[in-house]
Chain A
Amino acid sequence: MTTTKGILIFAHNNEEIDYFKLAVINAYYIKENLGIHDITVVTNKFSYDYNVKNVGKEFIDNAVSNIVFTEKDKAFKNANRRLYKDTSHTNKTLPFYNVDRCDAYDLSPYDETILIDADYLILSNTLNNCWGHENELMMNWHYEDIMSDRNDPSLKRLSPFGIKMYWATVVYFKKSNYAEQFFNTVKHVRDNNNYYQDLYRWPGSLYRNDYSFSVAAHMLGGFVDKAIPQLPIPSLYKTFDTDDIHSSPRKNEILFYLEKPKSLGDFVLCKWREMDIHVMNKWAINRVSEELINHVT
């Protein structure tokens, strides 16, 4: 029996950020670098229609094989607002619609799924190491900022004396009892957010999947830290929203402006090539979206 495998991306636009377009650009890179053609984007009618109007249906259909529409929870959308930065010079508070990510297990049509953020750019074939794995569920707590001088302890644990923080940026799962249990636990944490925030003491009022996935990992791992295995990749590489993109001069290559840790608003250049990368500055991706697309179409 052959198992189906595919990529799942959640993409709900807000007033400023076109997550759906990021997902489509990423889908082109996924097809090119992973050779995976089964790509599902979970979105809403507004985000989809906006992109059909702007980039065309054909452009979307050439990259994305399956679109799943969900209804937006408007109360959640209005309540869950976060600070987005386009470098340290510009910031905006906008809705952050991430409430349905824990439905990934139910929404995925595949036996094996890699769930990724729309802004986790697939510039290599590294994630192909996941398919057919013995581990039914994998995600990373280890991450690396590509500007190695920066160190933010708040990204390592939920609170200074709390549990290890897992990143929901990339999650591999197989349809299995264990993975189903895991996602049910994430939903339970989401639905009882205040209680778990009190218990695990994460800061702020923003609902983050990184937190609910970390709590679920801790609970399902028998209340042991780092109990869920990490992805078969050396690290989850990241840039932050205080960084910018200079250009994408070649296929699978991005030149970043990385903000210096001790001189905010001041940058060093960095060439990043043929490794997947989480780019937190969404505006920056949009500014070079034409270049990115030209390399893979």
Chain B
Amino acid sequence: MSGVITGLEESASYNRNVLSYIHQAAERGVYDIRGLGAKRHVPTFDDLVFLTASASRYPLEGYREKCTTKTLLGTRSATNPIELEIPITIAGMSFGSLSANAKEAIGRAATLMGTSTTTGDGGMTAEERQSSKTLVYQCLPSRYGFNPDDLRRAEAIEIVIGQGAKPGGGGLLLGQKISARVAAMRTLPEGIDQRSPCRHPDWTGPDDLTIKIEELREITDWRVPIYVKLGATRVREDVKLAVKAGADVIVVDGMQGGTAATQQVFIEHTGIPTLPAVRLAVEALEAMDVFGKVQLIVSGGIRSGADVAKALALGADAVAIGQGVLMALGCNAPTWTSGNEAIDATEDYHKLGTQVGFCHHCHTGMCPVGITTQDEVLETRLDPEWGARRLRNYLQVLTMELTTLARACGKSNVHHLEREDLAALTVEAAAMAKLPLAGTDWIPGSGTL
């Protein structure tokens, strides 16, 4: 057989991916920056299964009996807590990283589903305020576009300390996405490579955070809930500090969380997976005796109704989704839609040096389907109405999957899902979630055999 050499052995340490990394580093002398989240395998919610009802438990009828999804957030101190129809929220993504059309589509879909959406690094746009019934306003280290008028217009405030894709790092938005509008909103020169700070400008450390939260409450007259968002690293300690600082809602973003542009070394090598992060956050809330009083939102790799259900069963009050939202809008799809016509975009993926299913080129601003771009031509590829319809469908499917699982566990309220409903399929997942390995009573690390 010509051309086939047998007996070759690829190095596990220096496989083709590693070789490619070393060759590119040697050639270009610059590290990789990319979008989306971690691609490496980590233990996930896929490693858990539900122990649905049987003889020992009583299920509810899947299509007939009611299963509540209403979700209340921010009940600790705010006079106007957030009431959502579903426990699935939209994570913070900036105008700048996303097009105005994408932000509008997200706002419309969230409003249709009775859930919240969140601003991002770059401030609040008129389009997203108008399209979003419930809008969470992020207070980030950069404070780009941050102002008291928008603060008072928001239904909640989220102080961002960290993000799962890059805990300890600041945001990036490369020059090709700094359009005139983005630059004006951020008070920066047009076209520069914008690197957001990683620390807040006006407070340092948890004691200062307490006072910062008080200030935001004073400015908004204690009306709206204040969330604190953490990248999942030292979750137990960080959640306790955020609770002590007065947060109404804790948002924990696991390492699978996405980004529009971050150094690859951050994306793949920092933070802990969402699975143990949820468990650690719940333990911290319980230790502070605020479980159920301070709500928990979990994000980072939430893709399906099963993921939502498992996060809730582990103790989360709600989840936040970013990457799944973009994919519902057409991220990594082979076509974009004009009217009723599907237009092939594969050549545009190739121009970026990638292909459908592998694209993580949000940082380039040349999104083939018009989502993560500020390019005037490309952004027209996403029609907000079409996008809103798609995203609404996706959120609806997630909700139906969630309630299907909850009913099968005998729950008439998705918030009644509990740890006892779950088992782990792998030793790693069992250890991280502190759940019994399926078919055993063994929880690794618990000393129980």
Determine if chain A interacts with chain B: no
B-to-A contact residues, CB < 8 Å: none
Q: Which residues of chain A have a CB within 8 Å of any CB of chain B?
A: none
